[in-house]
């Protein structure tokens, strides 16, 4: 109390429990980074599924004696909630939010361009992009930065290859709508999914429609968080969740150790392309000479 330091980092997470994909590994990274410097982590979660409340910050936010706050934004952090966080006076680091300062995030424009370019290099030329496949529709301003950035990266890769884009958004009736789309667009040879979870939903429909992956249709994911659940090993972009959490903890502690330093340049991570069976046909696999991730 004499020093005004409690060696507690708050990890604040606002998400929709039913739809959000967790930042798997980021909490481990935050914990390990904090422990390395003798800090503890206080987990604060807010579900955005329920009705809006006048006070978006739970009581623990002001009662837990925090030295800094790490905020994980899944695209549902309202402007009112952000303002309440800023008004707290705590050093704040944003995890998974694209800001020029005090932020740790992924270069999703690069990631989507990289995985789309890989498909083009493999000879795929009718490549669609599955942006959403959910019963919930997220609209601006709560849309997460990764959505438009991944679409932009996909379109950039196709533009460089002289190919036409097709961005797909399936809502509440996604199972029916995907089936109808598959019947209409039988010439599509690859689908880039905006995340691994949507790739799994696509696999469900492809199984029902007797469409084999990748011999009839190549499929990619993004994130490498649900890829182990795929019926065919999934080509995807690995997001370094653990490393991002570790970097966020280090940034928060740096702000704690230097009270006069209020701004730190953001840390940007590039995802890694993992090539697996969902984009390599049986004929190509027979001649595969390099190891597949």
pLDDT, position 169: 95
pLDDT, position 139: 56
Structure-token pair, residue 255: 């702000």
pLDDT, position 291: 42
pLDDT, position 120: 97
pLDDT at residue 206 tops 70: yes
Q: Could you give the CA distance from residue 105 to residue 244 in angstroms, rounded to a whole number?
A: 7
Convert the pLDDT of each residue in 102-136 to its tens digit: 999 999 999 999 999 999 999 999 999 999 998 76
Q: What 3-state class would DSSP assign to 233? A: coil
Q: Could you give the CA distance from residue 227 to residue 221 in angstroms, rounded to a whole number?
A: 7
Average pLDDT, the chain: 86
> Could you count the other beta carbons within 10 Å of the beta carbon of residue 185?
13
Convert the pLDDT of each residue in 143-179 to its tens digit: 789 999 999 999 999 999 999 999 999 999 999 999 9
pLDDT at residue 189 tops 60: yes
Helix or strand (DSSP H, E) at 12: strand 8-15
pLDDT, position 43: 85
pLDDT at residue 247 tops 80: yes
Preceding peptide of 214 cis, ω within 30°: yes
Q: Could you give the CA distance from residue 255 to residue 21 in angstroms, rounded to a whole number?
A: 29
Q: Under a CB-based contact definition with an 8 Å cutoff, are residues 80 and 56 in contact?
A: yes
User: Lowest-pLDDT range, 53-67, 105-119, 185-199, 276-290?
Assistant: 53-67
| Band of residue 65 on the pLDDT scale cut at 50, 70, 90 | confident
pLDDT, position 181: 97
pLDDT, position 44: 80
pLDDT at residue 289 tops 60: no
Q: Could you give the CA distance from residue 266 to residue 100 in angstroms, rounded to a whole number?
A: 6
All structural domains of the chain? 8-106+239-271 (3.40.50.2300), 108-238+274-286 (3.40.50.2300)
| Band of residue 51 on the pLDDT scale cut at 50, 70, 90 | very low
Q: What 3-state class would DSSP assign to 220? A: strand
Helix or strand (DSSP H, E) at 80: helix 79-87
Please, what sign has the CA dihedral across residues 292, 245, 22, 262? negative
Instruction: State mean pLDDT over 217-221.
Output: 98
Nearest 5°: CA angle at 263, between 258 and 267?
A: 105
pLDDT at residue 15 tops 80: no
103-106: strand order across its sheet: 40-47, 8-15, 68-73, 92-95, 103-106, 267-269
Q: Could you give the CA distance from residue 16 to residue 74 in angstroms, rounded to a whole number?
A: 8
pLDDT, position 6: 84
Instruction: State mean pLDDT over 75-87.
Output: 73
Q: Under a CB-based contact definition with an 8 Å cutoff, are residues 260 and 251 in contact?
A: no
Instruction: State mean pLDDT over 64-81.
Output: 78
Q: What 3-state class would DSSP assign to 289? A: coil
Nearest Cα to Cα of residue 231 among 277, 291, 287, 285: 277
pLDDT at residue 55 tops 70: no
Structure-token pair, residue 121: 């290099």
> Could you count the other beta carbons within 10 Å of the beta carbon of residue 6?
15
Instruction: State mean pLDDT over 232-258.
Output: 96
pLDDT at residue 284 tops 70: no
| Band of residue 186 on the pLDDT scale cut at 50, 70, 90 | very high
């Amino acid at each position: 109390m004499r020093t005004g330091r409690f060696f507690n980092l708050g990890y604040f997470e606002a998400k929709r429990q039913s739809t959000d994909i967790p930042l798997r590994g980021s909490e481990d990274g935050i914990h390990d980074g904090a422990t390395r410097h003798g800090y503890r982590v206080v987990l604060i979660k807010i579900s955005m599924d329920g009705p809006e409340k006048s006070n978006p910050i739970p009581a623990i936010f002001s009662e837990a004696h925090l030295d800094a706050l790490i905020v994980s934004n899944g695209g549902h952090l309202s402007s009112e909630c952000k303002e309440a966080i800023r008004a707290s006076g705590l050093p704040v680091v944003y995890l998974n939010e694209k800001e020029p300062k005090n932020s740790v995030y992924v270069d999703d424009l690069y990631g989507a361009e990289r995985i789309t370019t890989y498909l083009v290099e493999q000879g795929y030329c009718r490549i669609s992009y599955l942006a959403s496949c959910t019963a919930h529709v997220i609209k601006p301003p709560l849309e997460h930065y990764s959505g438009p950035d991944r679409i932009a990266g996909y379109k950039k890769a196709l533009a460089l290859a002289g190919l036409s884009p097709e961005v797909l958004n399936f809502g509440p009736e996604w199972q029916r709508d995907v089936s109808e789309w598959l019947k209409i667009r039988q010439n599509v040879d690859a689908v880039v999914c905006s995340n691994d979870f949507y790739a799994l939903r696509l696999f469900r429909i492809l199984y029902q429609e007797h469409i084999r992956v990748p011999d009839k249709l190549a499929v990619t994911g993004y994130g490498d968080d649900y890829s182990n659940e795929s019926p065919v090993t999934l080509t995807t972009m690995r997001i370094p969740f653990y490393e991002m959490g570790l970097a966020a903890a280090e940034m928060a502690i740096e702000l704690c150790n230097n009270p006069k330093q209020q701004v730190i340049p953001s840390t940007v991570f590039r995802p890694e392309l993992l090539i697996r069976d969902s984009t390599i046909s049986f004929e190509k696999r027979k001649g595969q000479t390099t190891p597949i991730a």
